[in-house]
Chains A and B, each alone.
Chain A
Amino acid sequence: MSTRLSSGGRLVNRGKAVEFTFNGRRLKGYEGDTLASALLAGGQMMVGRSFKYHRPRGLVASGAEEPNALVNLGEGGRFEPNQRATTTELFDGLTCTSQNHWPSLEFDIGAINNKLARVLPAGFYYKTFMAPRAAWKYLFEPIVRHSAGLGRAPKDRDADRYEHFYAFVDVVVIGGGIAGLQAAKAAGAGGAKVLLMEQTPHWGGRAPVDGGEVGGMAAGDHVTTLVNDLKAMPNVTMRTRMMGAGVYDHGYVLGYERVRDHAPDTPGPRHRLWRIRAGRIVTATGAIERPLSFAGNDVPGVMLASAMRDYLVDYGVSPGDRTVVVTNNDDAYRTAIALKHAGLEVPVVLDARAAGGGALAEEARGLGIRVATGKGIAKVKGGKRVTGVSICLQEGEGAALEEIKCDAVAMSGGWSPVVHLWSHCGGKLIWDDMQAHFRPDADRPPLGADGAGFVIAAGAGNGAMDLRAILADATGAGTAAAQETGHAGGETPVPEVAAQPEAAMMPVWLMPQGAGPDLRMKAWLDYQNDVKVSDVMLAAQEGYESVEHTKRYTTLGMATDQGKLSNINGLATLASQLNAPIPSVGTTTFRPPYTPISMGAIAGEARAEVFQPLRRTPIHDWHEAQGAHFEPVGQWRRPYCFPRGGESHAEAVRREIDQTRGSLGILDASTLGKIIVTGPDAPKFMDMLYTNMMSSLKPGKCRYGLMCNENGFLMDDGVVARLDEETFLVHTTTGGAEHIHGHMEEWLQTEWWDWKVYTANVTEQFVQIGVVGPNARKLLDKLGGMDVSKEAMAFMEWKDGTLGGFDARVFRISFSGELSFEIAVAASVGRAFWDTLLEAGEEFGITPYGTEALHVMRAEKGFIMIGDETDGTVIPQDLGLGWAISKKKEDYLGKRAQTRPHMADPERWKLVGLETLDGSVIPDGAYAVAGGHNANGQRSTQGRVTSTYHSPTLGRGIAMALVHRGPDRMGEVIEIAKLDGSTVSAKIVSPVFYDPEGEKQNV
């Protein structure tokens, strides 16, 4: 049983107890504990169930690589699944529960899968696809769905706040171990602006635990000296609890700072995402110990040797009373020695190397520890906890030579440098035969904008595995980073390090090397996704030769830990099965983030009201005060309708239309795009932009125009007013203003750069108000100041003048079919003008109307709406707008494209009106069905509805639709599919439902 020792633990404050609960059980830890160390101290070795087989699982590691100890952390708005206990700092009142079991951690129904392991092999999920269709639907899918996923998704709104932070530095050093500290010191001494980050709350990494002597003092003391040196350097910024999450193009780095995960009751943001641009990035990310692959290497109590040492030295926690150590390298002897010094029993160190270890092995023997060379573990005994091991020859097939009782196993399969950040942006790796690991290839770094490498790996993260090499490498890396960013200040000497000679490690990818199928089936590679040696071997047998394919087939390394622990073991297993060298099999791709980061941190402040900027017209406040129902149009909010009293939206829309058509309506049209196009070549340019002839438009006149892209498709429409010989005012759709302005600039800057044309987007400079209805002219006459009579101002003309004392530009244009004026005034007086109109219009029952009334009225008139009748595949010719396409012009954007055969094809779907025979409203987006079925067994179609409304004016449903050869089929009745599978009959009619002669607007 794991427990807290009576003394020891350099990181815990035994003077301050902290209470927390695990699965409802109250436990106690100390300040400075991680959740993992506190659980171990409380005797809780088993912390979860595995994903696929629901096997009992315990803590394996002590850091970010931990695959098993994932918990549901917190409650309500602070609930978060899949949190690693090893990287969760303990705080008073922490609550957590274990995952992936039912009904309880101790007794789990799903563990039956463990017995079924033989029928759930690698690729089980994919193999279910090959079964009969019905088997997938009724048998496999429900099972797979039920068992999929770790943890639970949060249901409540996140109660915390998150923020982004921008930083620009010369050098970022990622990793605050002894290498990172030394590199930061060297870079800082050179004069560079340095940002040093460490993912844990502590500086020094493994050095204080692993020991050694630097500059005549203990490594841990040297770390303290380094930290103090750095704190004194004004050009160095140091952050703990901040992980280098990802490295991106040209020196971009994401830092993930967990500001107050450890102290949830303090004010401030929970996480801060640092968006950093650096000249050079030093990755001093250390190395992660690998497990060994032997049967039962996942039984709770089997841990990495280094993790066991961490728990012992850092937290004063014993993982068990009797620990068997199994290794292929010298480092694990440090654990044996540390356990012995702590007064715990180490019955044997099993060293797979026939020749055994070096000085550390001698030291262990000197302490009276039995060392057995050339031996390994055949099998771990125990279910929910280790009870013993059987020992075998490493070179054999697993015959038990001896059985030893123990309650913990410390394993070490060698060390893999953390190369993730080096690799995120294309840094390449080389295989190191001596250490049996991949490490960064300094000759092939990720390249920056100038073509030079911008990442420098340092220390154990660069494959330097002893303290002397680590400090030399880190000094070089920090100095180089400073120099390459133009800082060649002071030199930093490499400290003196006492030599620690170690015997060579020996790669061991399977223990024992001749293990048969029964043992391989229990030898775990990927703990979190339950992938075993036998699964990778099966994948290779079934023809999966590419490591990327094998990964996906077996799910090796695809869990939330992304295979940090044992991907190399998996690759080596695949390589040996394929009889290929490991480097030729290669690694899978390393992708950011290094460990999962919170969604909140990614969103930062961009949530709720500030998710995106909101654009408001100067009349917006009035709309709001009237209780308008808004709809988003681009980044604007436009009133959809203005319900009064208990009116429904539909009732409000009907009233607004009736009142506008009957007397007087008023519309805030300020959001419409307004772009000035001016210059000597403006007429020529306008002719290229629009399908119509715009150069012939006379000053004082307006013309409706269509704009196509070079593919020939209709992209925007609107009314153009010619202000003078050289100047046009272009009206665009609300959503189109910015991109149409961009479209104009693109052509002017990149194709016709010798044309003298200037454009300006003046959308927000004006408030534009539609005054609409039979009494529109009476209202303007009442305001006075301008002659807007039929004689003075014909349809499609505009004039500058004053109205009721306001400087105004009045356009006589109509999007409703009524007598209508659109009046533009300066934005600054827009609200005052709006109020003036409302007051003066009271006698006519003036009624503000919203976008829905606007839509219905334009549909009654058969006017198209960009985005309804068009979708990027529609040309003007489809919409019966051939009259707006100049035959005389030699060229306009889209003209050539519109001559392509399929554009001129008479079989295209074209715009018509639809009237349901029963007067009902057709559902939005419905399709017109034809006889027969297509290749997918769906009903064939012959058209689709683009706009559909209830017309209060006509008292029936009306619709516009694109129908196969539609205009040739007037009067024909077609069937339109409804959501319930039935159809409604509709007659093809002209899209102009209301006042086809235009008598209402020409008054």
Chain B
Amino acid sequence: MLILTCPYCGVKGEETEFHSGGEAHLKRFGPGSSDADFEQYLFMRENPKGVHLERWRHANGCGKWFHAARCTVTLEVFGTYSAQTTEPPQHIRDAISARRPGWTWREFS
């Protein structure tokens, strides 16, 4: 039962208020894309032991999607941030670096 803070409404809520939405920062590939790109987009996922960037929705709350930076081993939450971004913002990267120096996740670090 995680505790997450919704960056939109500011509510610090129980996990039951939220729905997990899988990996964050997927780049959509549509018609005309190569099989490799489409496979990557539709099926291939990170499965990290450590820092992970995820999508969550405040389903039983304000209804907004957001992103969370989290450690899959210790369940530490480094921060939550807007879903309207294609990459983790600097303050989130800094918060992760402060706790997990040298972290990398996909092309981010």
Using a CB–CB cutoff of 8 Å, the interface residues on chain A facing chain B are 248-252, 277, 426, 447-451, 710-711, 742, 745-746, 749-751, 753, 890-891, 895-897, 899-900
| A250 touching B3 in the complex, CB below 8 Å, given contacts A750-B83, A896-B31, A899-B31 | yes
What residues of B have a CB within 8 angstroms of the CB of A896 in the complex? 29-33, 38
* A745 in contact with B65 (CB, 8 Å): yes
B32's nearest neighbour on chain A, judged by CB, is A896
B94 within 8 A of A: no
B75 within 8 A of A: yes
Q: Can you name 23 A-B residue pairings with CB atoms under 8 Å?
A: A248-B1, A249-B1, A249-B2, A252-B1, A449-B3, A449-B4, A449-B76, A449-B77, A451-B71, A451-B74, A451-B99, A746-B21, A746-B65, A749-B64, A749-B65, A750-B55, A750-B65, A753-B83, A895-B30, A895-B31, A896-B29, A896-B33, A900-B35
Complex CA–CA separation, A900 to B38 (angstroms): 10
* Extra 12 A-B pairs, beta carbons < 8 Å, given A250-B2, A277-B3: A248-B1, A249-B2, A249-B15, A251-B3, A252-B1, A449-B4, A449-B76, A451-B71, A451-B99, A750-B83, A750-B84, A751-B28
* B63 in contact with A897 (CB, 8 Å): no
What residues of A have a CB within 8 angstroms of the CB of B55 in the complex? 750
* A250 in contact with B42 (CB, 8 Å): no
Complex CA–CA separation, A896 to B1 (angstroms): 37
B46 within 8 A of A: no
B93 within 8 A of A: no
What residues of B have a CB within 8 angstroms of the CB of A746 in the complex? 21, 57, 65
Near A by CB (< 8 A), chain B positions 1-46 give 1-4, 14-15, 21, 28-33, 35, 38, 42
Pick the contact of B42: A710, A742, A753 (CB < 8 A). Answer: A710
* B84 in contact with A753 (CB, 8 Å): yes
Complex CA–CA separation, A248 to B2 (angstroms): 9
A746 to chain B, nearest CB (A): 6
* B30 in contact with A891 (CB, 8 Å): yes
Contact string against A for B residues 64-88, beta-carbon threshold 8 Å, 1 for contact and 0 otherwise: 1100000100111100000110000
- Count the A-B residue pairs with Cβ separation under 8 angstroms: how many? 68
* A447 in contact with B75 (CB, 8 Å): yes
* B75 in contact with A249 (CB, 8 Å): yes
How many residues on the B side are at the interface (Cβ–Cβ under 8 A)?
Answer: 30
Pick the contact of B76: A251, A451, A749, A895 (CB < 8 A). Answer: A451
Query: Max chain B CB contacts within 10 Å: which of A248, A426, A450, A749?
Result: A749
* B83 in contact with A449 (CB, 8 Å): no
| A891 touching B57 in the complex, CB below 8 Å, given contacts A277-B14, A447-B74 | no
B16's nearest neighbour on chain A, judged by CB, is A275
B20 to chain A, nearest CB (A): 13
* A250 in contact with B21 (CB, 8 Å): no
* B63 in contact with A745 (CB, 8 Å): yes
A755 to chain B, nearest CB (A): 11
B48 to chain A, nearest CB (A): 17
Complex CA–CA separation, A861 to B83 (angstroms): 44
Complex CA–CA separation, A537 to B38 (angstroms): 54
What residues of B have a CB within 8 angstroms of the CB of A745 in the complex? 63, 65
Query: Max chain A CB contacts within 10 Å: which of B21, B29, B83?
Result: B83
A452's nearest neighbour on chain B, judged by CB, is B76
* A449 in contact with B75 (CB, 8 Å): yes
Pairs A-B, 10 closest by C-beta atoms: A451-B76, A252-B1, A753-B84, A447-B74, A749-B65, A250-B3, A449-B77, A891-B30, A896-B31, A750-B83
Pick the contact of A891: B31, B63, B65 (CB < 8 A). Answer: B31
B12 to chain A, nearest CB (A): 9
What residues of A have a CB within 8 angstroms of the CB of B28 in the complex? 751
B35's nearest neighbour on chain A, judged by CB, is A900
What residues of B have a CB within 8 angstroms of the CB of A449 in the complex? 2-4, 75-77
B1's nearest neighbour on chain A, judged by CB, is A252
B35 to chain A, nearest CB (A): 8
* B65 in contact with A250 (CB, 8 Å): no
| A749 touching B2 in the complex, CB below 8 Å, given contacts A447-B74, A449-B75 | no
Complex CA–CA separation, A745 to B63 (angstroms): 9
B64 to chain A, nearest CB (A): 7
* B1 in contact with A250 (CB, 8 Å): yes
What residues of B have a CB within 8 angstroms of the CB of A890 in the complex? 31
Complex CA–CA separation, A248 to B57 (angstroms): 22
What residues of A have a CB within 8 angstroms of the CB of B77 in the complex? 449-450
Complex CA–CA separation, A750 to B56 (angstroms): 11
Complex CA–CA separation, A891 to B31 (angstroms): 6
What residues of A have a CB within 8 angstroms of the CB of B14 in the complex? 252, 277
